[in-house]
Structure 1
Amino acid sequence: MTDSQQDFIEGVWLTGLKDAHVAIEIDDAGKAQGRIVWMERDKEEDGGPRIDKLNPDKSLRERLLEDMYILTDFEYKGNGTWESGEVYDPDSGKTYSGSIQSTGPNVLKMRGYVGIKLFGRTELWTRVND
């Protein structure tokens, strides 16, 4: 039922900004979810862990970014493509529509956009080898 490219998404990935590792897993419903498992320390503050200080929900602004889900509910569409998910950007506090394209076993094209895919940004994420 799965094609060989579907499983490429699972693993730990270095973000395009190279400041975090995101673990992506496929849940029981077959959707891809991704959470931060490592993040650079806060350079602006005391070098402590980074918090979700730009979240639009003021009650969430003190939570740690590490261990937080930033990729949610991506559905596999075939040919190494995952779509219909959401990407939370802790650097802006905004949530975007997203798509993920596997370009092989070690590189993902992550795209976050508003409305249509034309209006967005793409990052290349690379697999973190153990």
Structure 2
Amino acid sequence: MKTNRWSLMLFSLLFSLIFSLRLSAQSTADRIVGTYMTEGNKAKVTISKQGGKYYGTLIWTRRGDVLDSKNPDKAEQQKKLTGKIILRDLVHDEGSDYKGAKIYDPESGKTYSCKATRLDNGDLKVRGFIGASLFGRTTKWTRLAE
């Protein structure tokens, strides 16, 4: 009887430990959620979570509420940039790293592969690239106070 109680207590302790570690990892990943000013103060992007992935929505541009005129899809050219999802399918890798995304550049109308790193101060290093991440460009997004 004592063995069963100890086994049950040990199982409960291990379950609690694993569950709390999982919650801790989840909350670390979700630290990316928020609003950012892009490099050069050109736009504001809000990152939100849908399922297990993160998405970035353009909520403001320095040019105002303009149309997506550079988009290769003619139907999209008639839509406004504000409210457009420009970052999609970003997943937490480990630590402060995120990967597996696509990012749309409204200035060129091109879409690139993307990865991001959350910096200690809350800002993001966002890298857009073609093929290998070696061939791309990194930009810094500044976290805005909420």
Deviation at 1:54, TM superposition (A): 0.6
| Structure 2 CA distance for aligned equivalents of residues 17 and 95 of structure 1 | 20
Greater shift, 55-64 or 115-124, is seen at 55-64
Which amino acid is the alignment partner of residue 30 of structure 2? D
Cα root mean square deviation, aligned: 1.3
| Structure 1 CA distance for aligned equivalents of residues 107 and 139 of structure 2 | 14
TM-score (norm: length of structure 1): 0.89
Does 2:94 correspond to 1:72? no
Which amino acid is the alignment partner of residue 90 of structure 1? P
TM-score (norm: length of structure 2): 0.79
Deviation at 1:5, TM superposition (A): 3.1
Which amino acid is the alignment partner of residue 5 of structure 1? T
Q: Structure 1 segments of 4 or more deviating over 4 A?
A: none
| Structure with bigger gyration radius | 2
Mapped contact 1:13–1:21 kept (Cα < 8 A): yes
Gaps of 5+ in 1: 43-48
Instruction: Say which of 58, 62, 65 aligns to 1:36.
Output: 58
Q: Aligned with 1:79: secondary structure?
A: coil
| Structure 1 CA distance for aligned equivalents of residues 127 and 135 of structure 2 | 10
Larger RCO (alpha carbons 8 Å, 6+ apart): 1
Mapped contact 1:8–1:105 kept (Cα < 8 A): no
Which structure 2 residues correspond to residues 1-130 of structure 1 after superposition, within 5 A? 1=22, 2-3=24-25, 4-27=27-50, 29-41=51-63, 49-130=65-146
State the identity %.
36
> Could you say which structure has the higher strand fraction?
1
Give CA-to-partner distance per residue, 1:90-129, whole Å, 9 cap, x none: 0000000000101124210000000000000000111111
| Structure 1 CA distance for aligned equivalents of residues 128 and 49 of structure 2 | 19
Mapped contact 1:15–1:22 kept (Cα < 8 A): yes
| Structure 2 CA distance for aligned equivalents of residues 126 and 51 of structure 1 | 25
Mapped contact 1:16–1:123 kept (Cα < 8 A): yes
